[in-house]
C-alpha cells in the first residue's frame, strides 16, 4: 500500500500544491519553516482524519482562507482509492472515500495505516500520562475498530457525566438515580477498555524489547508497566464512592482516562533516570513495534513518516534505521531534512527508488 498522489488546497502554508510520490522512499527537503512537516501532516491527515500536531482541525486551514481540502489516492493491490478530506470554517469536517461519505468517520481509521516518528516524540517518556495514553489509544484505534468504538463512546459518556457533575455543583444538589444512568455504562466501557489495553501491552512489549535490543545492541532490558485503577476488584465501588469528590471538582476523578504506562530500563523509570539516548532509543523502539503490529494485523506495511530524524538522532541510530531500509523492512517512507546534502549522502547507498521534493519551490 502506498500514497500515489496528493493535492492540497489552503492546507496550512500550501495554497495550491500537488505531488506524485514514489512508492518507496520520498525525501522532502527545504529550509526550516518552508512546510516540510506540514506536508507530512497532510499525509497523516489523509490516513487518520486529523493532524498529528494539534487537536483543532481549523488550525490546518491556511491563514485567511475559509476552508482546506486534502485529496489523495492510495494504491493497494493494483486498486486505487481516492480519499478527500475538507473543512469549511464553522462546519463539520467531511471525509469521502471515492467521493462517497462515510456513515461514521471512525470507519476510515485503520484502512491506511501510518506511523510517524517526530522530534518531540520523547515527550512520550518525559511528559504526562495523557501523552502516553494518546499514543497507545492511537495504536489500538488503528488496530481494532471495536476498541475505537468503545473509546469514543467512553469519551462521550464521560463528557456527559462531567456536565451533570457541574450542574450538581452549581445547584448544590445531586440525583443518585440520574447519576447512575451514566455510572453503569461508563463502568462497563472502562472494563472493556482496560482489558483490551492490558492484552495489547502483553503482546506489544516483547516487540518493543526486540527493537530496543536491536537499536541499543542489547545494552539494557526495557519494560512497560500498565497502571490502571480499573484493575482493582473494588473499582466499581470506589468509583461510586467518589461521587461527592467528583461533584466538588466537577469532573470524574476515576476511570481509564486516568491510566498510565510506565517505561523502565533495567528496573528504573526512564522518565526520571533515563539518559537522552535511552529515551530516544525507547521511543524509536515503540514506533518500530507499532509498525510491526500494524503490519501483522492489517497485512500491509504502514506508511512511515520520519520528520527531521537526521537532525535529532546520533550516527549509530541513523545507521540502524538505514540498515532496516536497506533490508526492505518498510514500505513507503517519507523523510524530511533541512540539509539536502546530508540526506543525499546518508541515503546515497540505499538500493531503492528515491524521489526528492523541495518545499521552497512551493
Q: Is residue 42 part of a domain?
A: yes
Q: Please tell me whether residues 157 and 284 are part of one structural domain.
A: yes
Residues 6 or more apart from 138 whose CB is under 8 A from it? 48
Nearest to 82 by CA among 52, 108, 58: 108
- 94 strand-pairing partners: 86
Q: Please tell me whether residues 2 and 79 are part of one structural domain.
A: yes
Nearest to 59 by CA among 72, 71, 50: 50
* CATH at residue 240: 1.20.1050.90
Nearest to 305 by CA among 15, 52, 10: 52
pLDDT at 301: 94
Number of domains in the chain: 2
pLDDT at 318: 83
d(CA 268, CA 249): 33
Residue with cell 538500493: 351
pLDDT in tens, 28-87: 998 888 899 999 999 999 999 999 998 899 999 998 899 999 999 999 888 999 999 999
pLDDT bin (cut points 50, 70, 90) of residue 362 is very low
The answer to whether residue 272 scores a pLDDT higher than 50 is yes
Q: Please tell me whether residues 326 and 288 are part of one structural domain.
A: no
Mean pLDDT of 172-180: 91
Q: Is residue 21 part of a domain?
A: yes
Q: Is residue 290 part of a domain?
A: yes
320: three-class secondary structure by DSSP: helix
pLDDT in tens, 1-19: 999 999 999 999 999 999 9
Q: Please tell me whether residues 146 and 288 are part of one structural domain.
A: yes
Q: Is residue 120 part of a domain?
A: no
pLDDT at 224: 97
Q: pLDDT above 90 covers what percent of the chain?
A: 74
Q: Is residue 121 part of a domain?
A: no
Last residue of a domain, one of 256, 276, 298: 298
Q: Is residue 75 part of a domain?
A: yes
Mean pLDDT of 294-314: 88
pLDDT in tens, 115-147: 999 888 889 999 899 999 999 999 999 999 999
Q: Please tell me whether residues 109 and 154 are part of one structural domain.
A: no
* CATH at residue 11: 3.40.50.300
Q: Please tell me whether residues 188 and 91 are part of one structural domain.
A: no
pLDDT in tens, 309-341: 877 777 777 888 888 888 888 999 999 988 888
Domain with 132, as residue range(s), is 126-298
pLDDT bin (cut points 50, 70, 90) of residue 216 is confident
| Average pLDDT score over the chain | 92
pLDDT at 319: 83
Q: Please tell me whether residues 248 and 164 are part of one structural domain.
A: yes
Q: Please tell me whether residues 146 and 271 are part of one structural domain.
A: yes
Last residue of a domain, one of 250, 272, 298: 298
d(CA 165, CA 170): 9
Q: Please tell me whether residues 35 and 108 are part of one structural domain.
A: yes
Amino acid at each position: 500500500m502506498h500514497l500515489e498522489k496528493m493535492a492540497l488546497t489552503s492546507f496550512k502554508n500550501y495554497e495550491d500544491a500537488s505531488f506524485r510520490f514514489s512508492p518507496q522512499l520520498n525525501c522532502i527537503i527545504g529550509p526550516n519553516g518552508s512546510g516540510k512537516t506540514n506536508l507530512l501532516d497532510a499525509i497523516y491527515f489523509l490516513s487518520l482524519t486529523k493532524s498529528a500536531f494539534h487537536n483543532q482541525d481549523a488550525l490546518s486551514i491556511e491563514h485567511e482562507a475559509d476552508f482546506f481540502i486534502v485529496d489523495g489516492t492510495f494504491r493497494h493491490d493494483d486498486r486505487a482509492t481516492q480519499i478527500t478530506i475538507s473543512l469549511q470554517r464553522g462546519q463539520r469536517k467531511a471525509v469521502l472515500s471515492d467521493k462517497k461519505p462515510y456513515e461514521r468517520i471512525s470507519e476510515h481509521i485503520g484502512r491506511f495505516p501510518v506511523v510517524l516518528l517526530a522530534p518531540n516524540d520523547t515527550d512520550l517518556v518525559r511528559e504526562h500520562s495523557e501523552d502516553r495514553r494518546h499514543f497507545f489509544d492511537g495504536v489500538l484505534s488503528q488496530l481494532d475498530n471495536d476498541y475505537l468504538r468503545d473509546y469514543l463512546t467512553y469519551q462521550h459518556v464521560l463528557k456527559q457525566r462531567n456536565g451533570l457533575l457541574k450542574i450538581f455543583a452549581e445547584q448544590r444538589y445531586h440525583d443518585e438515580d440520574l447519576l447512575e444512568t451514566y455510572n453503569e455504562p461508563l463502568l462497563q466501557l472502562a472494563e472493556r477498555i482496560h482489558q483490551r489495553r492490558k492484552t495489547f501491552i502483553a503482546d506489544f512489549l516483547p516487540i518493543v524489547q526486540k527493537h530496543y535490543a536491536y537499536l541499543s545492541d542489547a545494552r539494557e532490558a526495557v519494560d512497560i508497566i500498565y497502571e490502571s485503577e480499573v484493575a482493582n476488584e473494588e473499582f466499581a465501588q470506589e468509583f461510586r464512592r467518589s461521587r461527592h469528590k467528583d461533584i466538588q471538582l466537577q469532573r470524574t476523578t476515576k476511570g481509564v482516562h486516568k491510566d498510565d504506562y510506565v517505561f523502565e530500563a533495567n528496573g528504573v523509570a526512564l522518565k526520571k533516570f533515563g539518559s537522552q539516548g535511552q529515551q530516544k532509543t525507547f521511543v524509536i523502539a515503540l514506533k518500530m513495534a507499532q509498525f510491526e503490529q500494524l503490519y501483522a494485523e492489517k497485512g500491509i506495511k504502514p506508511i512511515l513518516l520520519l520528520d527531521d530524524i537526521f537532525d535529532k538522532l546520533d550516527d549509530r541510530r541513523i545507521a540502524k534505521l538505514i540498515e532496516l531500509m536497506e533490508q526492505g523492512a518498510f514500505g513507503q517512507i517519507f523523510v524530511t531534512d533541512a540539509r539536502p546534502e546530508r540526506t543525499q549522502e546518508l541515503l546515497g547507498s540505499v538500493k531503492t527508488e528515491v524521489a526528492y521534493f523541495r518545499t521552497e519551490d512551493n
